[in-house]
A and B are shown apart, each in its own frame.
Chain A
């Protein structure tokens, strides 16, 4: 059976190698991606429309904001699904696992983490807030923020991390992030534009239409960051303990 499975792998591999011949050179101006009017439109107009120097962020949070909103919803649903499956999985009692040791949190590890976590969290805020200018944004900042709480859970234990970030907060924060994103979209809709057409926000805030898009992008990135932070930590907390939420790794 295992040998048989090599046949489709080889066939697909040969097909892919054959197809790779037709790829344009990397960075070639004749590549379909470079020649299409869509790319040149974004390159020419992002700075004029939104004043955001990082085109990736502008495309992600503004031009295709609807897409990004539902990506955030997908992350939220994934977290909720894990929670729903593991919450009543029936294996409530603590079984001794294969590699479990009873040890106090290590002095060197905990003190290193004590120094590291504030730096990680400040960097997460920087990545989120500076995503307009440099690489980064809500997803990356949120993942970094969630990772800092996971680091606390890994070096002490899950209970210590859950004091800092209780698990029922994660559901609320996750929902709040999506609510913030959709709220900015709805607000711009009620102000006369389309859903997620941030430039209409200039009607109620004292900024130009371009800067309204710039700042609304920061708002939706904060929403994405909130959801991702909460769901990443909730995923770790539930998966490492099979939903019991005590005695993690």
Chain B
């Protein structure tokens, strides 16, 4: 029961994060929301027992890729046009 509740909560947050990352106009905010998405995915994988994948997701998805995205956004215009 507790696990099902946890899964439902994380999956709902995942959908919210995914929609938000697409809808938000500010690219910096979008990349941070994207990091949140990665971290939620990491929690799900850790819960399913795929700890190696969860670890990769935490380091690459939530860590490095966010830094690289933000580094790139600082050299572009910050607002998305659509």
Of B51, B56, B74, most buried by chain A (CB within 10 Å of CB) is B74
Residues on B with beta carbons closer than 8 Å to the beta carbon of A242: 75
- CB pair A143 B60 closer than 8 Å: yes
Residues on B with beta carbons closer than 8 Å to the beta carbon of A154: 67
Chain B positions 36-82 with a Cβ under 8 Å from a chain A Cβ: 48, 51-52, 54-56, 59-60, 63-64, 67-68, 70-72, 74-75, 77-78, 82
**Contact A140-B55, Cβ < 8 Å, known A26-B48, A99-B78, A147-B64:** yes
Q: Which of B's residues lie within 8 Å of A, judged by CB?
A: 48, 51-52, 54-56, 59-60, 63-64, 67-68, 70-72, 74-75, 77-78, 82
- Say how far A24's CB is from chain B's closest CB, in angstroms: 14
- CB pair A240 B63 closer than 8 Å: no
- CB pair A240 B75 closer than 8 Å: yes
User: Chain A, interface size: which category?
Assistant: 20 to 34
Assess whether A135 is interfacial by the CB under 8 Å rule: yes
- CB pair B71 A240 closer than 8 Å: yes
* A-B residue pairs, 6 tightest by C-beta: A240-B71, A135-B51, A143-B59, A56-B52, A135-B52, A239-B71
- CB pair A143 B74 closer than 8 Å: no
- Say how far A130's CB is from chain B's closest CB, in angstroms: 12
B59 in complex: contacting residue of A140, A240, A241, CB < 8 Å: A140
Closest residue of B by beta carbon distance from A144? B59
B55 in complex: contacting residue of A136, A235, A248, CB < 8 Å: A136
Residues on B with beta carbons closer than 8 Å to the beta carbon of A137: 52
Assess whether A162 is interfacial by the CB under 8 Å rule: no
Give Cα A210–Cα B1 distance, bound, in whole angstroms: 43
Closest residue of B by beta carbon distance from A57? B52
- CB pair A239 B64 closer than 8 Å: no
Residues on A with beta carbons closer than 8 Å to the beta carbon of B72: 239-240
Residues on A with beta carbons closer than 8 Å to the beta carbon of B51: 135
Give Cα A79–Cα B54 distance, bound, in whole angstroms: 24
- CB pair A239 B55 closer than 8 Å: no
Closest residue of B by beta carbon distance from A98? B78
Of B48, B68, B72, most buried by chain A (CB within 10 Å of CB) is B68
Can you list 14 A-B contacts with CB-CB less than 8 angstroms, sorted by A residue number? A2-B82, A26-B48, A97-B74, A97-B75, A127-B55, A135-B54, A143-B59, A150-B67, A235-B68, A236-B64, A239-B72, A240-B71, A240-B72, A248-B71
Assess whether A139 is interfacial by the CB under 8 Å rule: yes
- CB pair B71 A99 closer than 8 Å: no
- CB pair A236 B48 closer than 8 Å: no
What does the 1/0 interface line of A124-150 toward B look like (CB < 8 Å)? 000100000001110110011011001
- Say how far A216's CB is from chain B's closest CB, in angstroms: 19
Assess whether A109 is interfacial by the CB under 8 Å rule: no
- CB pair A236 B67 closer than 8 Å: yes
Closest residue of A by beta carbon distance from B28? A99
- CB pair A135 B55 closer than 8 Å: yes
Assess whether A249 is interfacial by the CB under 8 Å rule: yes
Assess whether A232 is interfacial by the CB under 8 Å rule: yes
- Say how far A133's CB is from chain B's closest CB, in angstroms: 12
Give Cα A167–Cα B11 distance, bound, in whole angstroms: 41
